[in-house]
Amino acid sequence: MQSTRVAVARSTRFVNVARAPHSRFRRLPCVLSVTSTLSATSIHTASTCRRLVNCRTASERSARRGFHTTNIDRASQDFYDVLGVNKDASQSEIKKAYYQLAKKYHPDANKEPDAKDKFVKIQEAYDTLSDENKRRSYDQFGTADPTGGGMGGGEGAGFSGFGNMEDILSQMFGGGFSGMGGSGRGGAGGGGFVSVGEDVEAAVTISFMEAVKGTKTSVTITPVVKCQPCAGQGTKKGARRDKCKTCRGTGRAMFQMGGFHVQQPCPECGGEGSTINPKDKCSSCGGNGRVRERKTVPVDIPPGCDNGMRVKLQGLGDAPIEGAGPSGDLYVRVRVIPSKIFRRKGADLYYDLSLPFTTAILGGTVRVPTVDGDVEVKIRPGTQPGDELRLRSKGAQKINSSVRGDQYLSLNVKLPKKLSTTQRNLIEQFEADVQGKPPSSDSDKQSSTTKENDSSDATDKQKDEDSDKSSGGGFFSRIKKDFEHFKGSSDK
Protein backbone atom coordinates (compact mmCIF):
# COMPACT_ATOMS: atom_id res chain seq x y z
CA MET A 1 0.00 0.00 0.00
CA GLN A 2 1.22 3.46 -0.73
CA SER A 3 -0.02 7.00 -0.49
CA THR A 4 -0.79 8.83 -3.69
CA ARG A 5 -0.95 12.62 -3.54
CA VAL A 6 -2.17 14.73 -6.42
CA ALA A 7 -1.98 18.52 -6.57
CA VAL A 8 -4.15 20.45 -8.96
CA ALA A 9 -3.72 24.12 -9.73
CA ARG A 10 -6.03 25.54 -12.29
CA SER A 11 -7.57 28.90 -13.03
CA THR A 12 -11.31 28.54 -12.97
CA ARG A 13 -14.58 30.39 -12.60
CA PHE A 14 -16.70 30.66 -9.47
CA VAL A 15 -19.94 32.47 -8.87
CA ASN A 16 -19.58 34.86 -5.98
CA VAL A 17 -23.13 34.96 -4.66
CA ALA A 18 -22.54 38.06 -2.58
CA ARG A 19 -20.55 39.93 -5.23
CA ALA A 20 -21.85 38.96 -8.65
CA PRO A 21 -24.63 41.36 -9.64
CA HIS A 22 -23.70 41.04 -13.29
CA SER A 23 -24.28 37.27 -13.42
CA ARG A 24 -20.66 36.81 -14.40
CA PHE A 25 -18.22 34.11 -13.37
CA ARG A 26 -15.01 34.97 -11.65
CA ARG A 27 -11.73 33.55 -12.80
CA LEU A 28 -9.69 32.76 -9.73
CA PRO A 29 -7.03 30.16 -8.99
CA CYS A 30 -8.16 26.94 -7.40
CA VAL A 31 -5.87 24.37 -5.81
CA LEU A 32 -7.10 20.87 -5.11
CA SER A 33 -5.17 18.22 -3.25
CA VAL A 34 -6.07 14.56 -2.91
CA THR A 35 -4.81 12.23 -0.26
CA SER A 36 -5.89 8.61 -0.57
CA THR A 37 -4.57 5.22 0.47
CA LEU A 38 -5.10 2.88 -2.44
CA SER A 39 -3.26 0.08 -4.16
CA ALA A 40 -0.61 1.26 -6.58
CA THR A 41 -1.95 -1.17 -9.17
CA SER A 42 -5.49 0.19 -8.99
CA ILE A 43 -5.28 3.97 -9.18
CA HIS A 44 -2.59 6.27 -10.57
CA THR A 45 -2.50 9.78 -11.85
CA ALA A 46 -2.35 10.21 -15.61
CA SER A 47 1.28 11.31 -15.60
CA THR A 48 2.32 8.44 -13.30
CA CYS A 49 0.64 5.94 -15.60
CA ARG A 50 2.49 7.35 -18.57
CA ARG A 51 5.82 6.94 -16.82
CA LEU A 52 5.22 3.43 -15.49
CA VAL A 53 3.13 1.75 -18.15
CA ASN A 54 6.15 0.55 -20.13
CA CYS A 55 7.69 -1.00 -17.03
CA ARG A 56 4.73 -3.23 -16.17
CA THR A 57 4.21 -6.71 -17.43
CA ALA A 58 1.24 -7.66 -19.55
CA SER A 59 -0.42 -9.46 -16.64
CA GLU A 60 -0.05 -6.40 -14.41
CA ARG A 61 -1.59 -4.17 -17.06
CA SER A 62 -4.44 -6.64 -17.54
CA ALA A 63 -5.06 -6.82 -13.80
CA ARG A 64 -5.05 -3.02 -13.59
CA ARG A 65 -7.61 -2.71 -16.35
CA GLY A 66 -9.86 -5.30 -14.75
CA PHE A 67 -9.95 -3.64 -11.33
CA HIS A 68 -12.08 -0.65 -10.48
CA THR A 69 -13.33 0.96 -7.31
CA THR A 70 -17.02 1.56 -6.78
CA ASN A 71 -18.47 4.36 -4.73
CA ILE A 72 -21.58 2.69 -3.33
CA ASP A 73 -23.21 5.96 -2.39
CA ARG A 74 -22.71 7.43 -5.85
CA ALA A 75 -23.74 4.24 -7.62
CA SER A 76 -27.03 4.25 -5.75
CA GLN A 77 -27.78 7.80 -6.82
CA ASP A 78 -29.89 8.45 -9.90
CA PHE A 79 -29.09 11.73 -11.65
CA TYR A 80 -32.77 12.47 -12.20
CA ASP A 81 -33.45 11.93 -8.49
CA VAL A 82 -30.49 14.13 -7.57
CA LEU A 83 -31.99 17.04 -9.51
CA GLY A 84 -35.55 16.12 -8.57
CA VAL A 85 -36.86 15.90 -12.14
CA ASN A 86 -38.61 13.25 -14.20
CA LYS A 87 -36.74 11.19 -16.78
CA ASP A 88 -38.62 12.95 -19.56
CA ALA A 89 -37.83 16.42 -18.21
CA SER A 90 -36.93 19.12 -20.73
CA GLN A 91 -33.63 20.96 -20.75
CA SER A 92 -35.26 24.07 -19.31
CA GLU A 93 -36.66 22.05 -16.40
CA ILE A 94 -33.27 20.46 -15.77
CA LYS A 95 -31.54 23.82 -15.86
CA LYS A 96 -34.09 25.40 -13.52
CA ALA A 97 -33.75 22.56 -11.01
CA TYR A 98 -29.96 22.74 -11.18
CA TYR A 99 -29.85 26.49 -10.52
CA GLN A 100 -32.14 26.16 -7.53
CA LEU A 101 -30.17 23.30 -5.98
CA ALA A 102 -26.75 24.78 -6.81
CA LYS A 103 -27.73 28.04 -5.15
CA LYS A 104 -28.98 26.16 -2.10
CA TYR A 105 -25.99 23.84 -1.63
CA HIS A 106 -23.12 25.92 -2.99
CA PRO A 107 -20.26 25.92 -0.42
CA ASP A 108 -20.22 29.71 -0.48
CA ALA A 109 -23.84 29.87 0.71
CA ASN A 110 -24.36 26.66 2.69
CA LYS A 111 -22.13 25.83 5.64
CA GLU A 112 -23.69 22.45 6.45
CA PRO A 113 -21.16 19.57 6.56
CA ASP A 114 -22.84 17.59 3.77
CA ALA A 115 -23.54 20.59 1.53
CA LYS A 116 -20.30 20.18 -0.39
CA ASP A 117 -20.95 16.52 -1.17
CA LYS A 118 -24.47 17.33 -2.33
CA PHE A 119 -23.16 20.14 -4.51
CA VAL A 120 -20.73 17.74 -6.20
CA LYS A 121 -23.55 15.29 -6.96
CA ILE A 122 -25.74 18.10 -8.26
CA GLN A 123 -22.95 19.37 -10.51
CA GLU A 124 -22.22 15.85 -11.75
CA ALA A 125 -25.88 15.18 -12.51
CA TYR A 126 -26.32 18.47 -14.37
CA ASP A 127 -23.14 18.04 -16.44
CA THR A 128 -24.49 14.72 -17.69
CA LEU A 129 -28.17 15.52 -18.19
CA SER A 130 -27.57 18.93 -19.78
CA ASP A 131 -25.62 17.29 -22.61
CA GLU A 132 -27.93 15.39 -24.97
CA ASN A 133 -25.26 12.88 -25.99
CA LYS A 134 -24.22 12.18 -22.41
CA ARG A 135 -27.85 11.98 -21.34
CA ARG A 136 -28.66 9.48 -24.08
CA SER A 137 -25.69 7.34 -23.06
CA TYR A 138 -26.64 7.63 -19.39
CA ASP A 139 -30.23 6.53 -20.06
CA GLN A 140 -28.98 3.53 -22.01
CA PHE A 141 -25.90 2.43 -20.06
CA GLY A 142 -26.25 4.16 -16.69
CA THR A 143 -23.18 6.28 -17.40
CA ALA A 144 -22.22 9.20 -19.57
CA ASP A 145 -19.31 7.12 -20.93
CA PRO A 146 -20.44 3.66 -22.13
CA THR A 147 -16.81 2.49 -22.39
CA GLY A 148 -16.00 3.17 -18.76
CA GLY A 149 -17.49 2.47 -15.34
CA GLY A 150 -20.82 4.07 -14.60
CA MET A 151 -21.43 7.01 -12.34
CA GLY A 152 -24.91 6.38 -11.08
CA GLY A 153 -28.20 5.80 -12.80
CA GLY A 154 -27.60 2.14 -13.62
CA GLU A 155 -27.41 -1.00 -11.58
CA GLY A 156 -23.99 -1.65 -10.13
CA ALA A 157 -22.60 1.53 -11.65
CA GLY A 158 -19.50 3.12 -10.21
CA PHE A 159 -16.49 4.96 -11.55
CA SER A 160 -13.55 3.08 -12.96
CA GLY A 161 -10.21 4.17 -11.65
CA PHE A 162 -9.11 7.75 -11.18
CA GLY A 163 -9.90 8.99 -14.67
CA ASN A 164 -13.60 9.64 -14.19
CA MET A 165 -13.06 11.49 -10.93
CA GLU A 166 -10.54 13.61 -12.81
CA ASP A 167 -13.22 14.40 -15.36
CA ILE A 168 -15.65 15.41 -12.62
CA LEU A 169 -13.14 17.70 -10.96
CA SER A 170 -12.15 19.17 -14.31
CA GLN A 171 -15.77 20.03 -15.03
CA MET A 172 -16.24 21.48 -11.55
CA PHE A 173 -13.11 23.60 -11.41
CA GLY A 174 -12.32 24.17 -15.09
CA GLY A 175 -8.96 22.40 -15.02
CA GLY A 176 -7.13 19.10 -15.13
CA PHE A 177 -4.64 17.25 -13.01
CA SER A 178 -1.05 18.35 -13.09
CA GLY A 179 0.76 15.13 -12.32
CA MET A 180 2.95 14.11 -9.42
CA GLY A 181 4.76 16.97 -7.78
CA GLY A 182 3.89 19.48 -10.51
CA SER A 183 1.57 22.40 -10.73
CA GLY A 184 -1.49 22.84 -12.88
CA ARG A 185 -1.57 25.13 -15.89
CA GLY A 186 -2.06 28.68 -14.78
CA GLY A 187 -2.29 27.65 -11.14
CA ALA A 188 -0.46 28.54 -7.97
CA GLY A 189 2.77 26.97 -9.18
CA GLY A 190 2.80 29.24 -12.19
CA GLY A 191 3.20 32.50 -10.32
CA GLY A 192 0.68 35.33 -9.95
CA PHE A 193 -2.79 35.11 -11.39
CA VAL A 194 -4.17 37.77 -13.68
CA SER A 195 -7.92 38.09 -14.05
CA VAL A 196 -9.13 38.78 -17.59
CA GLY A 197 -12.52 40.17 -18.58
CA GLU A 198 -15.07 38.31 -20.65
CA ASP A 199 -15.42 38.76 -24.40
CA VAL A 200 -18.55 40.43 -25.73
CA GLU A 201 -20.24 39.62 -29.04
CA ALA A 202 -22.51 41.85 -31.11
CA ALA A 203 -23.91 41.71 -34.65
CA VAL A 204 -24.43 44.13 -37.53
CA THR A 205 -26.27 43.76 -40.83
CA ILE A 206 -24.88 45.35 -43.99
CA SER A 207 -25.64 45.26 -47.72
CA PHE A 208 -23.76 43.22 -50.29
CA MET A 209 -22.01 46.26 -51.75
CA GLU A 210 -21.01 47.50 -48.29
CA ALA A 211 -19.41 44.14 -47.62
CA VAL A 212 -17.48 44.23 -50.91
CA LYS A 213 -16.39 47.85 -50.66
CA GLY A 214 -16.10 48.14 -46.88
CA THR A 215 -18.06 50.51 -44.70
CA LYS A 216 -18.27 52.23 -41.34
CA THR A 217 -21.05 51.34 -38.94
CA SER A 218 -21.64 51.13 -35.20
CA VAL A 219 -23.01 48.77 -32.55
CA THR A 220 -24.54 49.44 -29.15
CA ILE A 221 -23.26 47.30 -26.27
CA THR A 222 -23.50 47.27 -22.46
CA PRO A 223 -20.15 45.95 -21.22
CA VAL A 224 -19.03 45.65 -17.61
CA VAL A 225 -16.81 48.61 -16.71
CA LYS A 226 -15.18 49.98 -13.59
CA CYS A 227 -17.39 52.16 -11.45
CA GLN A 228 -16.20 55.72 -11.97
CA PRO A 229 -17.18 57.24 -8.58
CA CYS A 230 -15.18 54.64 -6.63
CA ALA A 231 -12.58 53.87 -9.33
CA GLY A 232 -13.52 50.20 -9.15
CA GLN A 233 -12.78 49.88 -5.41
CA GLY A 234 -16.40 49.53 -4.29
CA THR A 235 -16.00 51.95 -1.38
CA LYS A 236 -17.17 55.45 -0.69
CA LYS A 237 -14.72 58.28 -1.10
CA GLY A 238 -12.28 58.24 1.83
CA ALA A 239 -13.32 54.76 3.04
CA ARG A 240 -10.94 51.80 3.14
CA ARG A 241 -11.34 48.08 2.68
CA ASP A 242 -10.77 45.85 5.72
CA LYS A 243 -8.61 42.74 5.78
CA CYS A 244 -10.75 39.62 5.53
CA LYS A 245 -10.93 37.85 8.87
CA THR A 246 -11.90 34.51 7.35
CA CYS A 247 -8.91 34.03 5.04
CA ARG A 248 -6.64 36.55 6.80
CA GLY A 249 -6.08 38.40 3.58
CA THR A 250 -5.02 35.41 1.46
CA GLY A 251 -8.25 35.30 -0.52
CA ARG A 252 -8.36 31.50 -0.31
CA ALA A 253 -10.20 29.02 1.87
CA MET A 254 -9.78 25.25 2.26
CA PHE A 255 -12.66 22.85 2.63
CA GLN A 256 -12.96 19.08 2.65
CA MET A 257 -15.02 17.25 0.06
CA GLY A 258 -15.15 13.57 0.92
CA GLY A 259 -11.53 12.44 0.74
CA PHE A 260 -10.47 15.61 -1.07
CA HIS A 261 -9.19 18.91 0.23
CA VAL A 262 -10.16 21.69 -2.13
CA GLN A 263 -8.80 25.21 -1.98
CA GLN A 264 -11.15 27.78 -3.44
CA PRO A 265 -11.71 31.54 -3.29
CA CYS A 266 -12.72 32.69 0.14
CA PRO A 267 -16.54 32.78 0.34
CA GLU A 268 -16.42 35.79 2.65
CA CYS A 269 -14.37 38.17 0.50
CA GLY A 270 -14.81 36.51 -2.89
CA GLY A 271 -11.07 35.86 -3.18
CA GLU A 272 -10.03 39.49 -2.78
CA GLY A 273 -8.60 39.16 0.71
CA SER A 274 -10.50 42.22 1.91
CA THR A 275 -14.06 43.17 2.75
CA ILE A 276 -16.11 46.35 2.81
CA ASN A 277 -18.15 47.56 5.71
CA PRO A 278 -21.77 47.84 4.53
CA LYS A 279 -21.91 51.51 5.48
CA ASP A 280 -18.78 52.20 3.40
CA LYS A 281 -20.05 50.65 0.15
CA CYS A 282 -20.24 52.82 -2.95
CA SER A 283 -23.80 53.88 -3.66
CA SER A 284 -23.30 53.68 -7.44
CA CYS A 285 -22.14 50.06 -7.67
CA GLY A 286 -23.27 48.70 -4.29
CA GLY A 287 -19.72 47.78 -3.36
CA ASN A 288 -19.08 45.68 -6.45
CA GLY A 289 -16.72 48.11 -8.12
CA ARG A 290 -18.24 47.27 -11.49
CA VAL A 291 -21.30 48.49 -13.38
CA ARG A 292 -22.76 48.01 -16.84
CA GLU A 293 -22.47 50.98 -19.15
CA ARG A 294 -24.38 51.45 -22.39
CA LYS A 295 -22.18 52.73 -25.18
CA THR A 296 -22.11 52.97 -28.96
CA VAL A 297 -18.92 51.70 -30.56
CA PRO A 298 -17.85 52.59 -34.13
CA VAL A 299 -16.95 49.59 -36.27
CA ASP A 300 -14.88 49.63 -39.46
CA ILE A 301 -15.93 46.82 -41.80
CA PRO A 302 -12.94 46.02 -44.05
CA PRO A 303 -13.41 45.60 -47.82
CA GLY A 304 -14.13 42.02 -48.81
CA CYS A 305 -15.90 41.08 -45.58
CA ASP A 306 -18.18 38.08 -46.09
CA ASN A 307 -21.28 36.83 -44.33
CA GLY A 308 -20.54 35.27 -40.93
CA MET A 309 -17.13 36.88 -40.47
CA ARG A 310 -16.27 38.53 -37.16
CA VAL A 311 -14.45 41.82 -36.62
CA LYS A 312 -12.37 41.91 -33.44
CA LEU A 313 -12.11 45.11 -31.41
CA GLN A 314 -9.49 44.50 -28.77
CA GLY A 315 -10.12 45.60 -25.21
CA LEU A 316 -13.74 46.68 -25.71
CA GLY A 317 -15.30 43.71 -23.92
CA ASP A 318 -16.15 43.30 -20.25
CA ALA A 319 -13.75 44.46 -17.58
CA PRO A 320 -12.74 41.71 -15.11
CA ILE A 321 -15.18 41.40 -12.24
CA GLU A 322 -12.28 41.48 -9.79
CA GLY A 323 -8.72 42.69 -10.08
CA ALA A 324 -7.03 45.08 -12.46
CA GLY A 325 -6.53 42.74 -15.41
CA PRO A 326 -7.23 43.63 -19.04
CA SER A 327 -10.74 43.80 -20.44
CA GLY A 328 -12.02 41.22 -22.86
CA ASP A 329 -12.50 41.83 -26.57
CA LEU A 330 -15.53 42.81 -28.61
CA TYR A 331 -16.40 40.54 -31.54
CA VAL A 332 -18.78 41.96 -34.12
CA ARG A 333 -20.38 39.30 -36.29
CA VAL A 334 -21.26 40.54 -39.78
CA ARG A 335 -24.47 39.54 -41.53
CA VAL A 336 -24.51 40.34 -45.25
CA ILE A 337 -27.77 40.75 -47.19
CA PRO A 338 -27.48 38.63 -50.37
CA SER A 339 -27.25 40.44 -53.72
CA LYS A 340 -30.01 40.08 -56.31
CA ILE A 341 -27.44 40.43 -59.10
CA PHE A 342 -24.28 38.65 -58.05
CA ARG A 343 -23.40 35.37 -56.40
CA ARG A 344 -20.28 35.17 -54.28
CA LYS A 345 -17.80 32.38 -53.61
CA GLY A 346 -14.93 33.69 -51.54
CA ALA A 347 -13.49 36.69 -53.34
CA ASP A 348 -14.95 35.68 -56.74
CA LEU A 349 -18.27 36.98 -58.06
CA TYR A 350 -20.62 35.28 -60.53
CA TYR A 351 -23.13 36.89 -62.89
CA ASP A 352 -25.62 35.21 -65.24
CA LEU A 353 -25.51 36.92 -68.67
CA SER A 354 -28.31 36.27 -71.16
CA LEU A 355 -27.38 36.65 -74.85
CA PRO A 356 -29.62 36.79 -77.95
CA PHE A 357 -28.84 33.77 -80.12
CA THR A 358 -27.85 36.09 -82.94
CA THR A 359 -25.12 37.63 -80.74
CA ALA A 360 -23.97 34.16 -79.75
CA ILE A 361 -23.71 33.18 -83.43
CA LEU A 362 -22.33 36.38 -84.94
CA GLY A 363 -20.50 37.84 -81.92
CA GLY A 364 -20.68 41.40 -80.66
CA THR A 365 -20.35 43.52 -77.52
CA VAL A 366 -22.62 43.67 -74.48
CA ARG A 367 -22.67 45.77 -71.30
CA VAL A 368 -22.18 43.85 -68.07
CA PRO A 369 -22.66 45.13 -64.47
CA THR A 370 -19.75 44.86 -62.03
CA VAL A 371 -19.19 46.16 -58.50
CA ASP A 372 -17.22 49.01 -60.12
CA GLY A 373 -19.93 49.89 -62.65
CA ASP A 374 -20.96 48.66 -66.10
CA VAL A 375 -18.26 47.51 -68.53
CA GLU A 376 -18.36 46.43 -72.18
CA VAL A 377 -17.51 42.80 -72.88
CA LYS A 378 -16.73 41.39 -76.32
CA ILE A 379 -18.57 38.20 -77.26
CA ARG A 380 -16.79 35.90 -79.69
CA PRO A 381 -18.75 34.48 -82.67
CA GLY A 382 -19.93 30.94 -82.07
CA THR A 383 -20.35 31.31 -78.30
CA GLN A 384 -22.07 28.26 -76.83
CA PRO A 385 -24.66 28.08 -74.02
CA GLY A 386 -22.91 27.47 -70.70
CA ASP A 387 -19.64 29.10 -71.74
CA GLU A 388 -17.94 31.16 -69.05
CA LEU A 389 -15.99 34.40 -69.38
CA ARG A 390 -13.66 35.78 -66.73
CA LEU A 391 -13.19 39.45 -65.90
CA ARG A 392 -9.91 39.66 -64.03
CA SER A 393 -9.75 41.62 -60.77
CA LYS A 394 -13.44 42.54 -60.93
CA GLY A 395 -14.39 40.54 -57.85
CA ALA A 396 -14.27 41.34 -54.13
CA GLN A 397 -11.10 42.28 -52.31
CA LYS A 398 -9.44 39.54 -50.31
CA ILE A 399 -9.29 40.13 -46.56
CA ASN A 400 -6.01 41.65 -45.35
CA SER A 401 -4.80 41.95 -48.93
CA SER A 402 -4.96 44.37 -51.84
CA VAL A 403 -5.57 41.50 -54.27
CA ARG A 404 -9.05 41.19 -55.73
CA GLY A 405 -10.90 38.17 -56.99
CA ASP A 406 -12.39 37.75 -60.46
CA GLN A 407 -15.89 38.07 -61.86
CA TYR A 408 -17.20 35.18 -63.92
CA LEU A 409 -19.91 35.52 -66.57
CA SER A 410 -22.09 32.45 -67.08
CA LEU A 411 -23.47 32.78 -70.63
CA ASN A 412 -27.04 31.76 -71.33
CA VAL A 413 -28.23 31.90 -74.96
CA LYS A 414 -31.77 33.26 -75.22
CA LEU A 415 -33.86 31.74 -78.03
CA PRO A 416 -36.96 33.43 -79.51
CA LYS A 417 -40.26 31.74 -78.73
CA LYS A 418 -41.97 32.97 -81.92
CA LEU A 419 -40.68 33.56 -85.47
CA SER A 420 -42.14 35.50 -88.36
CA THR A 421 -42.45 33.86 -91.80
CA THR A 422 -39.33 35.65 -93.03
CA GLN A 423 -37.35 34.67 -89.96
CA ARG A 424 -38.44 31.06 -90.23
CA ASN A 425 -37.44 30.91 -93.93
CA LEU A 426 -34.01 32.28 -93.03
CA ILE A 427 -33.53 29.66 -90.33
CA GLU A 428 -34.63 26.89 -92.70
CA GLN A 429 -32.23 28.13 -95.38
CA PHE A 430 -29.45 28.22 -92.78
CA GLU A 431 -30.26 24.66 -91.73
CA ALA A 432 -30.24 23.49 -95.36
CA ASP A 433 -26.89 25.15 -95.98
CA VAL A 434 -25.36 23.54 -92.88
CA GLN A 435 -26.61 20.10 -93.91
CA GLY A 436 -25.44 20.57 -97.52
CA LYS A 437 -28.91 20.42 -99.01
CA PRO A 438 -30.15 22.76 -101.75
CA PRO A 439 -32.36 25.48 -100.32
CA SER A 440 -36.07 24.84 -100.75
CA SER A 441 -37.78 28.00 -102.07
CA ASP A 442 -41.43 28.70 -102.81
CA SER A 443 -40.79 28.32 -106.54
CA ASP A 444 -39.27 24.88 -105.92
CA LYS A 445 -42.34 23.80 -103.95
CA GLN A 446 -44.70 25.01 -106.71
CA SER A 447 -42.64 23.37 -109.47
CA SER A 448 -42.95 20.03 -107.72
CA THR A 449 -46.74 20.34 -107.56
CA THR A 450 -47.25 21.67 -111.15
CA LYS A 451 -44.55 19.33 -112.58
CA GLU A 452 -42.74 21.94 -114.65
CA ASN A 453 -40.13 20.63 -117.02
CA ASP A 454 -36.56 20.08 -115.94
CA SER A 455 -35.15 22.56 -118.37
CA SER A 456 -37.13 25.38 -116.78
CA ASP A 457 -35.88 24.34 -113.32
CA ALA A 458 -32.31 24.19 -114.55
CA THR A 459 -32.64 27.63 -116.10
CA ASP A 460 -34.04 29.10 -112.88
CA LYS A 461 -31.28 27.49 -110.84
CA GLN A 462 -28.63 28.87 -113.16
CA LYS A 463 -30.17 32.32 -112.89
CA ASP A 464 -30.12 32.12 -109.09
CA GLU A 465 -26.47 31.13 -109.06
CA ASP A 466 -25.58 33.94 -111.46
CA SER A 467 -27.51 36.35 -109.28
CA ASP A 468 -25.63 35.20 -106.14
CA LYS A 469 -22.29 35.55 -107.83
CA SER A 470 -23.14 38.99 -109.17
CA SER A 471 -24.12 40.13 -105.64
CA GLY A 472 -20.68 38.99 -104.47
CA GLY A 473 -20.23 36.40 -101.71
CA GLY A 474 -22.70 33.58 -102.31
CA PHE A 475 -25.51 32.18 -100.19
CA PHE A 476 -23.85 32.29 -96.73
CA SER A 477 -22.98 35.96 -97.16
CA ARG A 478 -26.62 36.70 -97.88
CA ILE A 479 -27.68 34.65 -94.87
CA LYS A 480 -25.25 36.59 -92.67
CA LYS A 481 -26.66 39.89 -93.91
CA ASP A 482 -30.18 38.66 -93.27
CA PHE A 483 -29.17 37.58 -89.74
CA GLU A 484 -27.64 40.99 -89.09
CA HIS A 485 -30.84 42.61 -90.31
CA PHE A 486 -32.87 40.23 -88.09
CA LYS A 487 -30.61 41.03 -85.13
CA GLY A 488 -31.16 44.74 -85.64
CA SER A 489 -34.92 44.34 -85.77
CA SER A 490 -34.95 42.09 -82.66
CA ASP A 491 -32.80 44.55 -80.70
CA LYS A 492 -35.30 47.28 -81.47
CATH number of the domain at 109, please.
1.10.287.110
Which CATH number fits the domain that encloses residue 406?
2.60.260.20
Regarding whether 349 and 242 lie in a shared domain, the answer is: no
Question: Do 357 and 295 sit in the same domain of this protein?
Answer: no
The region that residue 263 occupies, defined by phi over 0 for left and psi between -120 and 50 for alpha, beta otherwise, is: beta
Number of domains in the chain: 4
What's the rounded mean pLDDT across residues 276-295? 91
- How would residue 307 be classed by pLDDT, with cut points 50, 70 and 90? very high
pLDDT of 477 reads 54
pLDDT category of residue 68 using cuts at 50, 70 and 90: very low
What is the structure's pLDDT at 449?
A: 44
What pLDDT, in 10s, does the model give residues 114-152? Answer: 888 888 888 888 888 988 888 887 877 665 554 444 444
Residues 177 and 242 both lie in one domain: no
265 inside domain: no
Domain shared by 9 and 141, yes or no:
yes
| 44: in domain | yes
Is residue 290 pLDDT above 80, yes or no? yes
Q: Is residue 373 part of a domain?
A: yes
Is 60 exceeded by the pLDDT of residue 467?
no
Give a yes or no: residue 256 inside a domain: no
The predicted structure's pLDDT at residue 264: 78
Asked if residue 457 and residue 397 are part of one domain, the reply reads: no
Q: How confident is the model at residue 485 (pLDDT cuts 50, 70, 90)?
A: low
Full-model pTM: 0.50
Better pLDDT: 299 or 48: 299
- Please write the tens of the pLDDT for every residue from 428-437: 998 898 888 7
163 band by pLDDT with thresholds 50, 70 and 90: very low
Q: Per-residue pLDDT tens for 352-379?
A: 999 999 999 999 999 999 999 999 999 9
pLDDT exceeds 90 at position 410? yes
**Whether residues 361 and 434 fall in one domain:** no
| Same domain assignment for residues 236 and 209 | yes
Range of the domain at 304: 200-247+274-336
* Same domain for 121 and 39: yes
Query: Are 396 and 477 in a shared domain?
Result: no
pLDDT for 33 equals: 41
Same domain, residue pair 241 and 351: no
Determine whether 272 is exposed, middle or buried from the number of CB atoms within 10 Å of its CB (0-12, 13-18, 19+).
buried
**Residue 262: inside a domain:** no
- Given a cut of 90, whether residue 238 has pLDDT beyond it is no
Query: pLDDT grade, residue 440 (50/70/90)?
Result: low
